[in-house]
Amino acid sequence: MFTRTENFRDFIRYYPIVSIIIAIHIILYLCTILPFFPNYWFIETFSGVNLYIMEGEYWRLITPTFMHSGFSHMLFNSISLILFGPALERILGPARFAVVYLVAGLIANIATLFLEPLTYSHVGSSGAIFGLFGYYMAIILFRKKWLSRENTQIILTLCAVSLIMTFLQPNINITAHLFGLLGGFLLGAIPYFNKRDFSNSMRDMASWAGRTKQGFSKHSPVKIIFWGVIVLFTLIGFWTKGL
């Protein structure tokens, strides 16, 4: 479920929202480093600065979710999204996944606005990514059949490690992490699925899981090792940079 076996074209086709978000990450990062772009303008205009938000620049409640402070920050957040976003996008569908991701990020940024000083500034998709963890937690509590025991253990372990690292690492927006997680959990707990939606989602998930399992069985050990290394570096990123 959290191992990617698709080629690049299939990944974009199966997970369009995840692909679009990662593309935005990369484009905005390049705009902040390429010499022929007004790079400081992007940082100054799209970062989350509480004082400017209070003065009416409300787009800063959304845009920080797509901005990052450096290459490693952008890389590890994007890898996190590649690992944990696709399964949830297949469960929810592109539109609902986009709503969950954006609303979780918005909740994290609003909480940052009201709980941090006016001089506080921030960038990064950590709040939205923690929102995905929160939604998975809601699935684990309320829709247990959607996840296998192994995948449930993976989510719980990573969520616990990420929360612990949130409080241990410096320069982490703790407020965004906690409220992003809470926001995602609340969105997942809302009983907005009717029986037909639930049945369709389960059939889609079962079909996708079957294709993934079949594709994984055909993959070489090299690709398995490759994704193992990706997961390892993601965990290292959690520990050193935070989400």
Task: Point out the catalytic residue in the list 19, 121, 177, 201.
Answer: 177
Task: Point out the catalytic residue in the list 126, 201, 207, 220.
Answer: 126
Tokens 């941090």 belong to 116
For 49, the enclosing helix (H) or strand (E) is: strand 48-49
For residues 106 and 120, give the distance between their C-alpha atoms in angstroms, rounded to a whole number: 16
Could you tell me which residues come within 8 angstroms of residue 14 by beta carbon, excluding any fewer than 6 positions away? 6, 86, 90, 208
Give the Cα-Cα-Cα angle 199, 203, 208 (nearest 5 degrees): 150
Half-sphere exposure of 120 (CA within 13 A, CB side): 20
Residue 126 designated active-site = yes
The widest CA-to-CA distance across the chain, in whole angstroms, is 56
The token pair at 45 is 């205009």
Residue 177 designated active-site = yes
Rg (alpha carbons) of the chain, rounded to whole number: 18
What Cα–Cα distance (Å) separates residue 70 from each residue in 17, 24, 177?
A: 23, 14, 19
CB of 77 within 8 A of CB of 25? yes
Give the residue numbers marked as catalytic. 126, 177
